[in-house]
Structure 1
Amino acid sequence: MKKNLYSTLKQLTCLISLILVTVSCIDRLDFWQETQEGQLIIYGLFTDSEDKHLVNISTTAPLSFRPKGISNAAVYLLTDGEEKIAYLNKGNGVYELQGIHAAEGKSYAIEVILNGTTYRSSFQELPSAVGKDDLSYEVAYEPFKSSEDEYVFKVFTKSELPETKDQLFIRWVVEEAHYWQLLWIPPATPPPPPCFIFDVMDPSRVNLFDGTVTSNRQTESLLATRKIDNAFLFPYFVTVKQLSIKREAFQYWEKINIVINNQGSLFDIPPAPVVGNIVNTENPNELILGFFEVAKSSISRFYVTSEISPIYLQPICNFIPGKPTNQYPSECLSCEARAGGREWTSITPDWWVYD
Structure 2
Amino acid sequence: MVNPKFLFLFIFSTLLFACVEPFEINLNTKDKILFIEADLNNIDDNQSITLQYNFPSNSSIEYVGIDNAKVEVIENGSNIISCSFSSEGTYLLPTKFKTKIGAEYQLHFTLADGSEYKSSIETSQDVPPISNVYSRFVSKSIAWEQSMLDGHEIFIDTKDNPTEGDFYLWQWKMYEKESYCISCQGGKYYNNPLPLGVCIDDANLKRRNITYDYQCSGDCWDIIFSNKVNIMSDIYTNSGEIKNRLVAEIPFFQFKECVVEIQQFSISKSAFDYFNLIIQQNQNNGSLADTPPAGLIGNIKNINNSVEAVGGFFVVAAKTTYNYWLKRDDYANGTVPYGTLNGRAPSPELAGADTSRPPFAPCIESKTRTAVKPQGWLK
Task: Report the aligned-residue RMSD.
Answer: 4.1
Cα 1:321/1:86, change in 2 over 3 Å: same
4+ residue segments displaced more than 4 Å? 25-29, 61-67, 145-149, 188-191, 305-309, 312-315, 332-336
Q: CA deviation at 1:101?
A: 1.0
Gaps of 5+ in 1: 1-8, 14-24, 263-270
CA distance in 2, matches of 1:111, 1:193: 43
Residue by residue over 1:114-169, the C-alpha shift from the partner in whole angstroms, topping out at 9 and shown as x without a partner, is 333222211111113434252222322125369975313322222222323x4211
Q: Give 2:171's aligned residue.
A: 173
Residue 78 in structure 1 maps to residue 74 in structure 2? yes
Given candidates 265, 268, 278, the residue that maps to 1:256 is: 278
More helix by share: 1
More strand by share: 2
Identity, in percent, stands at 17
Given candidates 71, 79, 100, the residue that maps to 1:103 is: 100
Q: Residue 63 of structure 2 aligns to which amino acid in structure 1?
A: K
Q: Give 1:152's aligned residue.
A: 151
TM-score by length of 1: 0.72
Q: Give 1:126's aligned residue.
A: 124
CA distance in 2, matches of 1:177, 1:12: 30
Residues 259 and 272, structure 1, Cα contact 8 Å, conserved in 2: no
Residue 280 in structure 1 maps to residue 305 in structure 2? no
Q: Residue 84 of structure 1 aligns to which amino acid in structure 2?
A: I
Residues 277 and 292, structure 1, Cα contact 8 Å, conserved in 2: yes
CA distance in 1, matches of 2:275, 2:129: 19
Alignment partner of 1:197: what SS?
A: strand
Residues 40 and 98, structure 2, Cα contact 8 Å, conserved in 1: yes
CA distance in 1, matches of 2:295, 2:338: 40
Residue 300 in structure 1 maps to residue 322 in structure 2? yes
Cα 1:96/1:135, change in 2 over 3 Å: farther
Given candidates 37, 44, 52, the residue that maps to 1:43 is: 37
Cα 1:316/1:88, change in 2 over 3 Å: farther
Residues 12 and 256, structure 1, Cα contact 8 Å, conserved in 2: no
Alignment of 1:304-323 (within 5 A): 304=326, 310-311=335-336, 316=346, 320-322=350-352
CA distance in 2, matches of 1:308, 1:320: 34
Gaps of 5+ in 2: 1-6, 12-16, 183-188, 195-214, 285-292, 340-344
Residue by residue over 1:54-107, the C-alpha shift from the partner in whole angstroms, topping out at 9 and shown as x without a partner, is 323333354665652515144322212422223344434443333121112311
Alignment partner of 1:291: what SS?
A: strand
Q: Residue 254 of structure 1 aligns to which amino acid in structure 2?
A: N
Residue 112 in structure 1 maps to residue 109 in structure 2? yes
Alignment partner of 2:235: what SS?
A: coil
Greater mean deviation of Cα atoms: 137-146 or 207-216: 137-146
Alignment partner of 2:100: what SS?
A: coil
Q: CA deviation at 1:276?
A: 0.9
CA distance in 2, matches of 1:256, 1:111: 24
Cα 1:57/1:153, change in 2 over 3 Å: farther
TM-score by length of 2: 0.68
Cα 1:344/1:10, change in 2 over 3 Å: closer
Residue by residue over 1:279-306, the C-alpha shift from the partner in whole angstroms, topping out at 9 and shown as x without a partner, is 1122121111111121121111113356
Q: Answer with 1 or 2: which has the greater Rg.
A: 2
Alignment partner of 1:10: what SS?
A: coil
Q: Residue 119 of structure 1 aligns to which amino acid in structure 2?
A: Y
Alignment of 1:326-337 (within 5 A): 333=361
CA distance in 2, matches of 1:324, 1:306: 39
Cα 1:236/1:12, change in 2 over 3 Å: farther
Q: Give 1:21's aligned residue.
A: none
CA distance in 1, matches of 2:88, 2:372: 22
Residue by residue over 1:217-271, the C-alpha shift from the partner in whole angstroms, topping out at 9 and shown as x without a partner, is 3232222324323xx4655321121111121111111122111169xxxxxxxx9
Residues 106 and 119, structure 2, Cα contact 8 Å, conserved in 1: yes
Residues 53 and 96, structure 1, Cα contact 8 Å, conserved in 2: yes
Alignment partner of 2:101: what SS?
A: coil
Cα 1:226/1:312, change in 2 over 3 Å: closer
CA distance in 1, matches of 2:181, 2:310: 43
Cα 1:156/1:191, change in 2 over 3 Å: closer
Alignment partner of 1:152: what SS?
A: strand
Residues 154 and 249, structure 2, Cα contact 8 Å, conserved in 1: yes
Q: Give 1:139's aligned residue.
A: 137
Cα 1:196/1:212, change in 2 over 3 Å: same
Cα 1:112/1:199, change in 2 over 3 Å: farther
